[in-house]
Structure 1
Amino acid sequence: MMKVLIIACIGGALFAQLHIPIPWMLGPIVFVMLTQFIYKGALKWPAPFLNIGVVIVGTVIGIQFDTSLFNQMGSLLLYMVLVNVILIGGALLIAQCTSKWTGLPMKVAILGAIPGGLSQTVAFALEEKITDISTITYFQIIRLLLVVMIVPFIVSGEAISKPVTDASMSFTLVALIALSWCVSYVTNRVHLPVAFFITPIMFVLTLQLTTPIAMPAIPEYTMVVAQVLIGAHIGLMLKPHMLKFPKRVLVGGVMSALALILLTIGSSYLMMGLMGTSFVSSFLSAAPGGLDQMVLLAEAIHADVSLVSMFQTFRLLFIFLCIMPILKIAFRRKSLALQENT
């Protein structure tokens, strides 16, 4: 763990000196990932460290959340459904092309292309008795890596400079983060999707709306800590043995991810036309990356973090509550049809 922490901090510091976007997340991702292919010793980063980073992000977003967006919920809901239908419909078409080119079963290609959470997608695949879990994991991880590493450079030109704050860590902020983690632990135990991100936002928002508690200022280094904790975890996700897949599968995963990024660019221009939002906020709202990573990036470049949080959270819930049940029915019908034919 200490090795990973040191490598992550070296990567973050170097990327910061090179003025690379969100350096304290991209630096750890790149350095830790490359170290795995060189260093043969054990490298570990426990899940609780990732969860703490995600809770920090969720708490900060809850403090900064623009509650006036709730007044536009009717129109926002329509736009969120529209953007997600386009993104998921495009993912299904990409999966069909990937299946034909790589020879992968359609079920595997679909679950590899759907921009949902890795753990939930793998759990769904196990439930459906799909045996090729490693390929699905590769497709999901390579998409996350490419989105997290490419998207910052796409939106960095649109970044809005923000004043540097000299706020110091306060007892209120530490207490909020600690309480958010405790509540998130409980909601995670009852299997709330993305519990360690969604719960802190809802918890802090509830405090803001129902109590006179003044929200604390956020020191700059708070999000740096979150970036390192999350970046180190992502850097360890791509294992060397994953690159032993057939070349068409390896290339198919990369091309699938790039196609989704291109689709996101088109969706973001649609959002700009319909909602009048900036390109960076629209793009990050639709980007098929991890929820916490896209929100971290939105916060780092001063995009509309509230809008990005709402769109990204809605996409995950939309996939878990609507798309997964539809896929389950479709897979079962196809399985029954095959049994009848045989």
Structure 2
Amino acid sequence: MKIIRLIILLLSALGISSILNAAGMVLPWLFGSMAATFLFIRFVTDDFYFPKWMGNLGVFVIGFEIGSTFTMDAMQEMIGDIWNIFFISLLIISLSLGLSRIFMKLTGCTPETALLSSVPGALSQMLILAEEDKKADLMLVTITQMSRIILVVILVPFIASLFASDQAVSSEADEPAPLLSEVLEPSMLLIVAGAFILMYIFKLVRFPVPFLLGPIISVLIWNIMTGHHFSLNIEFMNVAQILFGIRIGRQITSLLYQLNSRMIVSMLIQNILLIGGTLVITGIYQMFTVHSFNNLFLSAAPGGIGQLIIVAVEMGADIAMISSYHIFRIFFIILIVTPLVSWYLRYRRRRQDRT
């Protein structure tokens, strides 16, 4: 019975996504599968079988698409752009932390909860810190971080679509990489094997998004060592969006039952201010770079790298540039922001224990 329900859900997601695609909607395969999941839970059952590996498979495919864009030329451009990457990341994280005070006043939560709720793109690290800190509200941190991902999925594509005509033409636009189906050979199984090995290592050390970073780095190594570039067939990305959309749709539905009106208003204000602030930062920063507004906005936008890369693919944006900004931000948050936040929370606890 559970397999039948899963098949019905998958067929529903495919059908709704196809209709939205024919209607010309932005991100039809992602939004269609999200809508199908919501309707399935609302009118059929909320007790259905969707194995974790299927959601991870969608992320895995997205990782391959990201990795395929990291050619030697793209890597050299990223190194040359490192200061822009650093300053954009610093500005967005600073904006997020600044908005934590507004969030604290709106919700009446503790400073610890507001701080951990505000750091963008670091869900797993912030949840670990929230579990360790008795003054942090784990549920509010989880819901706020998850709602930001969902709001980014909903709002960013429509904002990005307004500036799609601003998109700069890629230097490689005249010579697109061949499709995977055209160049597939047995030796390319090494990419898959390397991706699984890297995923296992990342999971072992509890590194975030292992199912995304594993294939990214594996394909990147292949590109550098062989010089044989490829791009994924659009069908692979459509399937990835459907699987990813079902996972997000399930998360959205589960969150709806935990929210009250005050939390909804507070999170909307915080996240809309964050996205609006990102637009302002991008508009100002664009005057000092050669990058298009759309590429910079998607590079700076708060949210998960998987969701934003799907948007970038749909908008025809520079995937290598956008990926490099977000991967840098992940490392920046893990290596610098998370230790600083952890130290600050321990400092607050020690100071309060003395008083």
Alpha-carbon distance between aligned partners in 2 of 1:15 and 1:166, rounded to the nearest angstrom: 28
Cα shift readout 1:157-200 (whole Å, capped 9, x = no counterpart):
33369999995736449836633542343233322332222221
- In structure 1, which of residues 227, 233, 243 is the aligned counterpart of residue 247 of structure 2? 233
Cα shift readout 1:188-226 (whole Å, capped 9, x = no counterpart):
3322332222221221121122236x3345322111011
Alpha-carbon distance between aligned partners in 2 of 1:61 and 1:104, rounded to the nearest angstrom: 38
The reply on whether 1:321 has 2:326 as its aligned counterpart is no
Alpha-carbon distance between aligned partners in 1 of 2:222 and 2:110, rounded to the nearest angstrom: 48
Aligned sequence identity (%): 26
Q: Provide the residue aligned with 2:264 in structure 1.
A: 250
Comparing 273-282 and 75-84, the one that deviates more: 75-84
> 1:173-252 alignment to 2 at 5 Å?
175=189, 178-179=192-193, 181-190=195-204, 191-211=206-226, 214-240=228-254, 242-252=256-266
Matched to 1:197, the amino acid is L
SS at match of 1:223: helix
Cα shift readout 1:217-271 (whole Å, capped 9, x = no counterpart):
5322111011111111111112446444442112111111111111111222234
> 1:1-342 alignment to 2 at 5 Å?
1-73=6-78, 75-129=80-134, 132-159=137-164, 169=181, 171-172=184-185, 175=189, 178-179=192-193, 181-190=195-204, 191-211=206-226, 214-240=228-254, 242-341=256-355
Comparing 181-190 and 278-287, the one that deviates more: 181-190
Alpha-carbon distance between aligned partners in 1 of 2:191 and 2:293, rounded to the nearest angstrom: 31
Conservation of the 8 A alpha-carbon contact between 1:59 and 1:177: no
Alpha-carbon distance between aligned partners in 1 of 2:13 and 2:342, rounded to the nearest angstrom: 39
Matched to 2:159, the amino acid is I
Cα shift readout 1:256-308 (whole Å, capped 9, x = no counterpart):
11111111112222342222111111111011121011112112221010000
Conservation of the 8 A alpha-carbon contact between 2:103 and 2:114: yes
Matched to 2:63, the amino acid is G
Report the CA distance shift for 1:231/1:275 in structure 2 as closer, same or farther (over 3 A).
same
Matched to 2:90, the amino acid is V
Count of aligned positions? 340
SS at match of 1:169: helix
Taking structure 1 as the reference length, the TM-score comes to: 0.89
Gaps of 5+ in 1: none
Conservation of the 8 A alpha-carbon contact between 1:264 and 1:287: yes
Gaps of 5+ in 2: 1-5, 168-172
Report the CA distance shift for 1:44/1:87 in structure 2 as closer, same or farther (over 3 A).
farther
Report the CA distance shift for 1:73/1:168 in structure 2 as closer, same or farther (over 3 A).
closer
Query: 1:3: how far off?
Result: 4.0
Taking structure 2 as the reference length, the TM-score comes to: 0.86
Comparing 66-75 and 230-239, the one that deviates more: 66-75
Alpha-carbon distance between aligned partners in 1 of 2:121 and 2:62, rounded to the nearest angstrom: 19
Conservation of the 8 A alpha-carbon contact between 1:138 and 1:238: no
Comparing 65-74 and 262-271, the one that deviates more: 65-74
Conservation of the 8 A alpha-carbon contact between 2:198 and 2:214: yes
Query: 1:311: how far off?
Result: 0.4
Alpha-carbon distance between aligned partners in 2 of 1:217 and 1:92, rounded to the nearest angstrom: 37
Conservation of the 8 A alpha-carbon contact between 1:37 and 1:240: no
Comparing 68-77 and 263-272, the one that deviates more: 68-77
Matched to 2:50, the amino acid is W
C-alpha RMSD over aligned residues:
2.6
Comparing 155-164 and 107-116, the one that deviates more: 155-164
Report the CA distance shift for 1:130/1:234 in structure 2 as closer, same or farther (over 3 A).
farther
Report the CA distance shift for 1:189/1:217 in structure 2 as closer, same or farther (over 3 A).
closer
Query: 1:146: how far off?
Result: 1.0
Comparing 88-97 and 34-43, the one that deviates more: 34-43
Alpha-carbon distance between aligned partners in 2 of 1:3 and 1:268, rounded to the nearest angstrom: 42
Matched to 1:253, the amino acid is M
